[in-house]
């Protein structure tokens, strides 16, 4: 009870979905739909939902994409402050609501150490937003992900073969060169985290860093 998995239906998302649903087939899978995802992402989400029989829980901002743009303009073109406001509206608020409504006490996520400086500091079991945060593949390399997908005949996101290594919204994701980090193509290079996986207050961050978990 209280266990949930988040999935962005990104490049290697089939790995976590396969690993977790083998153990807990009916686990709620939280999918934050910003309204600005690539068409390929929506199709990929549908395909994996059918393949794994996912108990999918889709959460969106109550503010429609069109209304948000009408009120605030293209926030993703307004520098770091605009990106942060965008992420708060379209990603963080829906995620916080999902945790509350689903009464989540332990949240499984496919974060990995090699992705960002913040993620390098994480433990396999951590805390965030007053819930336990579990990172089963934290120490996995991209090579290990590739091997798992091949071994279990699992698909990549359709855009992965076109150079998209970390896949978010269409307006803030570009392909990366072979020598660049996977997340170099996100957020125009202005930041690396959307905020969903960051502590929401300074006090919470201090608590996480001092925890023995």
| Catalytic residue positions, numbered | 194
C-alpha distance from residue 201 to each of 85, 128, 130, 155, 162 (Å) = 16, 10, 11, 37, 37
Strand partners, 169: 37
Tokens of 20: 């977790």
Answer whether 133's CB lies under 8 Å from 107's CB.
Answer: yes
The CA-atom distances, in angstroms, between 21 and each of 52, 104, 123, 208 are 7, 17, 22, 28
134: β partners: 108, 125
Return the closest-CA partner of residue 75 out of 94, 61, 88, 62. Answer: 88
- Chain Cα centroid distance, residue 189: 17
């Amino acid at each position: 009870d209280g266990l949930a998995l988040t999935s962005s239906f990104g490049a290697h998302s089939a790995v976590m979905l396969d690993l977790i649903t083998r153990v807990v087939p009916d686990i709620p899978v939280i999918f934050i739909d910003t309204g600005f995802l690539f068409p390929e992402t929506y199709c990929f989400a549908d395909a994996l939902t059918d393949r794994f029989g996912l108990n999918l829980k889709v959460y969106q901002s109550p503010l429609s994409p069109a209304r948000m743009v009408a009120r605030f303009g293209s926030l993703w073109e307004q520098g770091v402050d605009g990106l942060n406001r965008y992420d708060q509206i379209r990603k963080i608020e829906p995620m916080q609501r999902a945790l509350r409504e689903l009464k989540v006490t332990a949240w499984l996520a496919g974060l990995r150490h090699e992705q960002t400086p913040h993620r390098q500091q994480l433990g396999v079991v951590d805390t965030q937003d007053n819930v336990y945060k579990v990172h089963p593949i934290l120490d996995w390399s991209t090579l290990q992900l590739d091997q798992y997908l091949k071994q279990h005949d699992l698909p990549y996101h359709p855009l992965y073969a076109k150079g998209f290594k970390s896949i978010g919204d269409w307006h803030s994701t570009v392909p990366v060169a072979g020598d660049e980090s996977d997340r170099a193509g996100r957020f125009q290079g202005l930041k690396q985290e959307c905020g969903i996986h960051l502590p929401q207050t300074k006090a919470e961050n201090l608590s996480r860093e001092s925890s023995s978990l």
